Structure 1
Amino acid sequence: MTRLTSDGDGVDRRRFLAATGGLGVAGLAGCMGTESDDEDDDADGGSSIGQIGSGRAGRDAPGGTSMSEMPDLSGELTVYSGRGEFLVGELVTYIEELYDDFELNVRYGGATDLVNTITNEGEGSRADVFYSVNAGSLGALADAGRTQSLSEDVTGMVRSEFTTEQWIGTSGRARTVPFNTDSLSESGIPDDIMAFPDEFDGDLGWAPSYGSCQAFVTAMRIIEGEEATREWVESVVESGITPYNNEFAACQGIADGEIDAAFTNHYYIQRVLDGNPEASIDTAFTSGDAGAVFNVAGAAVVDTASDATLAENFVRHLLSAEAQDYFARSTFEYPLIPDVEPVGNLPTIDELDVPDIDLTELSDLEATIDLMRDAGAEV
C-alpha cells in the first residue's frame, strides 16, 4: 500500500499487521486527537470468517456477506480518506492484502479539506473513492457534482436513511448522555435534551471545540431554531458546564468522578469501558431531538474514478461482514448491516428514537461556532 502525502507524492507507509494484531482499543482511546490478517479455522477444520483487529472475547463470527463472496479487487485504486489512519488503516490494509493484483493508495486528511482538494483538483483529481467521517462532507462532495451514482446492489445493503444514489453510510454513531453510575441512575437523566440543565441535578461536561459536539449543536439549530439553541448554550455555560478537549476525555472525566454527565457520541463510553470494564459510566439516550442524532461515516465514488466498477466494489467491501464487525469491535461504532451487532449493552438502531433530519446539513458548522462563541462557550 502507498500512503499519499499532502502534496500527492507516494511514500511507503508502515504496515500495521504485525504491530497491531493484538492491538486493544485502550490504546486507541488515548489517541483521540485523530480516529490482521487472521482467519481462524473452526473445530471442523473449515474456514470461518476472518475477524480483523483486536478481538472481543465470546463474540461470534459476524453475519452478512463475507469479502470472499464479493467481487475480487484488481487494479490500482486511490482513496482520499477523511477517517484517520489509526482508526481504519488496519482495515484498508487487510482489504488490499486479500488480493494479489490490487494496489491501494490512501491519502489521509480532514474530511472537509479533502472535499475542497477534490473540488480544486477538478478533472485532474487522483481520487477514485472519498471515505468520509460524516455525512455532511459526503453531501458536500455530491452537491459539488463530484460523485458518481452507486448501483442499487450497493445502496440496498443499508437502510434507506443511510444512503443516497451518490454515497452510502458504512458505520454509525449515536449521540448520547453518558453518566456516572455512582452518582446517578438512568431515571435521573432527562429524555429531552432541551430539559438540560434546568431539570438535571448534577455537574455537566462537554467538548465544545470538538467537531462532534459542534455537529450536535448544529442539529439543535436545525430542529429547535437559532434562538432556542442560543438560549440552551447560554444556560449550560451559566450552569458551569466543564469543557474538555475531546469527548473521550469528557467520558473519562465521568468515570473519574469529575462530572456527573456529558454530551458525547456513544462509542467514547465503550472505549472507557474497554479500558476498565468496572468504570462507573453508563449510557442514556434522549428522544427524537438533537441529543439523539445518528450520524454516519461513509463513502462515495468520485466522478474522476478511472475504474468506477473497481471503486464501487471497494466501497462494497466496507459493508462486508468482516469490515462491519471491525467497526463494531475496534472503533465501537454501530454496524449498518443488520446481521452485525454493536459492541456493548446498546439498543439497536431500530430502538433508537432518532430525529428526522438531513444528515448532510450537519456540515454547516460556521454559523454554529459563531452562535456558541456569542453564547459564551469556549470554542
Structure 2
Amino acid sequence: MRYPLARFTSVFVLMVVLLPLGTACGVFGSDAGLVIYSGRNEGLVKPLLEKLEKAVDTKVEVRYGSSSELSAQLLEEGDKTKADLFLSQDAGALGALTKQGRLDKLPQATLDKVAASFRSSSGDWVGLSGRVRVLGYDPRQVTRPPNSVFDLVKPEWKDKVGYAPTNASFQAFVTGMRVLKGDDATREWLKGLKANGVKAYDDNLALLDAVDKGQVALGLLNHYYWYEKVAEKGANNVTAKLHYLPGGDPGALINVAGVGVLKGAKHRATAQKAVDFLLSRDAQTYFSDETKEYPLASGVKSTVPGLPPLESLKAPNVDLGKLDSLQQTLAMLREAGMV
C-alpha cells in the first residue's frame, strides 16, 4: 500500500522531529546502537529495518518523518546529530546534505553496486530504488499519447490533463525540469499548464483513479501506482494505461530513494554494513515486491510482471543530487497558482 506524503504545519513538524519515534523508551539516540533517520514511511520500511537489525546484529532506533523535513533537521543538528544513517525518499534531500558536507564518502565497492546515474557524483550516497515519471492515459479518449510534457500546454489537451501539485514526486520532477531547462522555461510551462485547464488532485492515487474512470484523459504520475493498482485489482479491471516518454524528456525523470552515512557517525562501521544490507538481493527484492519500484543494485531484477527493463528507458540526463532546491520550486509553483 502506498502512503502519501503528509503536509505538516510547523508545530507538527517540530513534534515529529523531536519525538522519539521508533523507540520503546528513553531519550532518542541515547543508547548504544544504530540511529536511522527515515524519510520512508514506517508502514513500508519497518519490516525491512527489522531484518536490517538482525543483519547488522545491533539495536536500531528509527526516527520517521518526511525526507525534506529530516534533511533540514540534520542540517540544523550538524555534527551534534545522533543519526548515523539517513534513508531518504528523495535524492534531493540527500543532495542538500551533500552540498553542506554532512555525508561521509562511501567505499568504492559499495558505490559500484549502483549505476553512476543513480548515486551521488560526490560518492556519498547511493540510490536504493527507482521510480519513473510517466503519463497515465485513458485509451478510450487517447489513442496516441504525447511524447513530451511540453506538449501538454497545447490546445488539444485543454481541460484533459491531471496532476498532483502537492505531491513530492511532482515537485521533484519540476525541480528536474528547472535543472534541465532553466527556471524561465519551467515557469512558462507551469503557467501554460495552468492556463490550459490542468486539474489538480490531492495525490497520485486519486489522480490514477480519475484517469481510470475517464474523468481526465491524461495524468502525470509515477509508474508504480499503476502497477500497484493492477496487482490489487487485476489487469482486466484497470482501464488506464501507461506511456513512458521517450528521448530524455523531463517528464521521464527517474528519481530514487537512497541512503547516506552521516559524517562523524558514532557507529560508522555498522552504518556501512546497513548500507550494504540495503543493497543486498533480499532488501532490493523487498522494494520491488512491496513498492513496485525498480531495484537499483547491480544484478537484481524487478519482480513486477510487465515492468519495462530499467535499461530500456530513456531518462533525462540529470544529476539527481541537484534536485535539492525544493524551496525555489515551491515558490515557482505558488507563483503559478498551483499550491
Which TM bucket (shorter chain)?
0.7 to 0.9
- Using the alignment, how far apart are the partners of 2:41 and 2:22 within structure 1? 17
Displacement of 1:135 in angstroms is 1.1
TM-score normalised by structure 2 residue count: 0.85
**Structure 2 CA distance for partners of 1:11 and 1:212, relative to 1, 3 Å:** closer
Partner of 1:284: 243
Partner of 1:175: 133
1:333/1:342 contact within 8 Å kept: no
1:211 pairs, out of 148, 154, 168, with 168
Match of 1:366, as an amino acid? Q
**Structure 1: unaligned runs, 5 residues or longer:** 14-74
- Using the alignment, how far apart are the partners of 1:365 and 1:303 within structure 2? 23
**Structure 2 CA distance for partners of 1:316 and 1:373, relative to 1, 3 Å:** same
1:220/1:289 contact within 8 Å kept: no
**Structure 2 CA distance for partners of 1:134 and 1:191, relative to 1, 3 Å:** same
Deviations 1:288-339 (A, max 9, x none): 1210111111101111312211101101111111111111111111110232
Partner of 1:362: 323
**Structure 2 CA distance for partners of 1:113 and 1:320, relative to 1, 3 Å:** same
Deviations 1:153-191 (A, max 9, x none): 211111111123111111111110011233333xx1111
CA radius of gyration, larger in: 1
The count of residues paired between Structure 1 and Structure 2 equals 311
Partner of 1:226: 183
Displacement of 1:197 in angstroms is 3.3
1:190/1:200 contact within 8 Å kept: no
* Corresponding position: 1:235 with 2:192: yes
Partner of 1:117: 73
Displacement of 1:5 in angstroms is 6.6
Match of 1:7, as an amino acid? L
SS at match of 1:273: helix
Deviations 1:77-106 (A, max 9, x none): 11011111112112111222456x421110
Partner of 1:190: 146
1:252/1:272 contact within 8 Å kept: no
More displaced 10-residue stretch of structure 1: 327-336 or 342-351: 342-351
Q: Point out the structure with the larger helix share.
A: 2
Aligned residues: percent identity? 33
Displacement of 1:351 in angstroms is 0.9
1:223/1:289 contact within 8 Å kept: no
SS at match of 1:376: coil
1:5/1:11 contact within 8 Å kept: no
Superposed CA RMSD in Å reads 2.1
2:284/2:300 contact within 8 Å kept: no
1:189/1:200 contact within 8 Å kept: no
Displacement of 1:357 in angstroms is 1.2
Partner of 2:18: 7
TM-score normalised by structure 1 residue count: 0.77
Displacement of 1:245 in angstroms is 0.7
2:138/2:211 contact within 8 Å kept: yes
1:308 pairs, out of 268, 278, 303, with 268
